[in-house]
Amino acid sequence: MYSTSTWIRAARIGGLCLTLIYAGQLALALQQEPPETAVEQQEAEASGQNCSYRNDPQEVELRAYRARQDVHERVLRFAKGTRRAASSVSPDAIPRVNFIDEHIFDRLKAEGAASAAMTSDETFLRRIMLDLTGRIPTVQQIRDFTADTSADKRSRMIDSLLNSPEFNDKWTMWLGDLLGNAQVNSNRNLQFRGRNSFHFWMKEAIEQRVSFRDIAYGAIVSAGRNYDQSAGGTNFMVRSFHTMGPAQDTYDMMLVRTATAFMGMSHYDCILCHDGRRHLDTISVWGAAAKRADAQKMAAHFSRTTMAGYRTSDTTEYYYQSFLVDDARTGSYGLNTSAGNRPNRRPPVVDGVTINSYTPVYRDGKTPAAGKTWRESFHAAMIEDELFAINFANRLWKAMFGLGLVDPVDTLDPMRLDPNNPPPEPWELQASHPQLLADLAHLARGQDFSIREFLRVLAESSAYQLDSAYDGEWDITKANLFARHIPRRIEGEEFHDALMSATATLPPSRGYTVQGWGDLRLTRAMQLPEPVEPRSNRAVAQFLDTFSRGNRDTVPRTQNGSILLQLNVMNNVLVTERIRQNGTFASPFIAGLTRNENNGQVVDEMFLAFLSRQPSEYEREVSLKQLTGKSGAARNTAIEDLAWSLVNKIDFLYSY
């Protein structure tokens, strides 16, 4: 569609329009001490081959480093692709709004590091709208916000966004990613009705301001038919069914998925195969000492969970392939397996007594309370566990700041989190800011785990409102100081919605249908119930998949870029047809600009619509050169070329 000269013009306008992203692979050989005979024998007898450590020990051990490396490279990639002026100031020059700022700027001062300056109103508005709602501001919203001279306008904007319908859409997607809501899965399919009930259950929880504590209750403890929205939370347990193995494999998966999502402890997946020693020694103080038996006693909380399939051969029956989740009155975690997805479970002999099964024991020693189901007892112990509050705080911090205080967020080490009880040398506290994480966890508990109110505190801090441009010393060791705002590439759903908003166009077929949602047509990708949608338009789904949005099962959502992503943004018809002033999907916005004879106004409007800011002097000069002296079809083409350039500019692809 575009000539070579057009691409050159685009590159000049963008400064660095297109950045080809290569994922660097770290080659680091870690010498492993040979295992002891007992461990060697245990591994030889393993009936499953799913030990992530055994399969790739470097990947397990280097996850924290890779998280910082990803952030470091993302910052450099964005900085190189923009012409934004950078500055830095003394941490003492930044206003301290709340306790977050005290921790962040005191740390910077102690490290002798400068802080980025506070960000502009235009950048703040775009950032906060993307982070809280997944949407970019309209031209009028930008003008109104920048013209407002009141001191509290940022706080009022935060409040407005927290109470918007778009907030519900964005954070339903976040919760769906966390809890793994997907129609088709490698273990047990939810079917479209289960997926839908789970989606609307989560959306109602966000809309009704349900505490994250109660969301956890619904996911862990709920009983009922998984197609019913009132029991939508049961789909979390249905997703945890493990195929091709004994019941204990399912109990284990229920624990792993629960502990990962609500406690930030994915290492249970390792401990349920074998003791942590010789596997987690270099990663986790807790993990190195953890025993498989203790993990199995945790999993025993789920050993009375039942899932009865709906018995019918009538495929038109509403509850066809649904499940009734409930709790049995009897049952335990048997130690009698010689097949399945994990090493054999054999009864140990303790003081001359053979132990054939385990009953629940929480990791702090609590046992089920009388009158409660075992799942209820697990939830009651879990919400009192400080890990629940820390996990909540850490995950939301990452959602807003781009890097967790502990990252990866699912690798919390209980023995390295308490600033008042540090681990033995040579270990260090796990969080980049240990006391800040502890204070945030305390705040979360005091707010009764309100997602909105917790996000409000994060968003109102000066630390969140720092600029991403920074001229201070920067290397990978500085990534977790939060001296600057960490840019993030926008998600595929956000790109889609930003494109539709900027061009004032609709998706193909005037929206997407979702199985089980009737004739409703969705015009915003953020409203889709899972990342593999829209199934009603595979071309659009494949385009969105280039943004590494994952499938909530075997492939996680990531910030990974690719050449395929860049080529699609340049050439996909979803983009190219919406920046035209005529045609089937012609943009009313672009068409209106072609009728405006004032080139300066055209350039300003386009930068505001696509990038949410005014052009720099350089950008204005280069852009005007493309329009000056042209009329008719040639000018219309130049305007379309400018729109294409702005969509491909790194500023459009990133929240910064």
pLDDT digits (tens, 9 = 90+) for 46-61: 434 556 666 666 677 7
Sign of the dihedral through C-alpha 386, 388, 392, 394: positive
| Rounded CA separation 494/491 (Å) | 5
Is residue 269 a part of any domain in this protein? Answer: yes
Distance CA 382, CA 258 (A): 10
Dihedral sign for Cα atoms in the order 257, 258, 261, 266: negative
Domain termination residue (choose one: 340, 368, 396): 368
User: Which residue range forms the structural domain that includes residue 304?
Assistant: 168-368
How many independent structural domains does the chain possess?
A: 2
Answer whether residue 645 is part of any domain.
yes
Sign of CA dihedral 57, 62, 67, 70: negative
Position 54 scores a pLDDT of: 65
Query: 591 in a domain, yes or no?
Result: yes
Q: What are phi and psi of 596, to 5 degrees?
A: -90, 120
* Per-residue confidence (pLDDT) for residue 47, from 0 to 100: 38
Mean pLDDT in residue range 425-449: 97
Q: Is residue 192 part of a domain?
A: yes
Confidence of residue 35 (pLDDT cuts 50, 70, 90): very low
Average the pLDDT over 333-356 and give the result: 95
| Closest by Cα among 73, 193, 173, 83 to 130 | 173
Contact of 98 with 457, CB cutoff 8 Å: yes
Question: Side-chain half-sphere of 524: how many Cα atoms within 13 Å?
Answer: 18
Are residues 492 and 360 both part of a single domain? no
In the predicted structure, residue 19 carries a pLDDT above the cut 80:
no
Q: Which amino acid is at 144?
A: D
Kindly state whether residue 262 falls inside one of the protein's structural domains.
yes
**Stretch 535-548: mean pLDDT, rounded?**
98
pLDDT for 50 equals: 56
Name the least confident of 5-9, 220-224, 438-442: 5-9
Contact 418, 89 (CB under 8 A): no
Task: Give the pLDDT confidence score for residue 31 in this predicted structure.
Answer: 28
The answer to whether the Cα torsion of 409, 413, 416, 418 is positive or negative is: positive
pTM: 0.91
More confident residue, 70 or 158: 158
Within a domain: residue 653? yes
| Residues contacting 138, CB < 8 A, separation 6+ | 501, 609
CA distance 293 to 209: 38
Residue 467 confidence (pLDDT)? 97
Token pair 């000069």: residue? 621
Asked which of 316, 336, 368 is the last residue of a domain, the reply is 368
Tell me, rounded to whole angstroms, the distance of Cα 277 from its chain centroid.
31
Predicted local distance difference test score (pLDDT) of residue 53: 62
- Domain boundary residue among 368, 388, 420? 368
- Neighbour tally for 100: CB within 10 Å: 24
Q: Is residue 111 part of a domain?
A: no
Tell whether 127 is covered by a domain.
no
- 196/335 same-domain check: yes
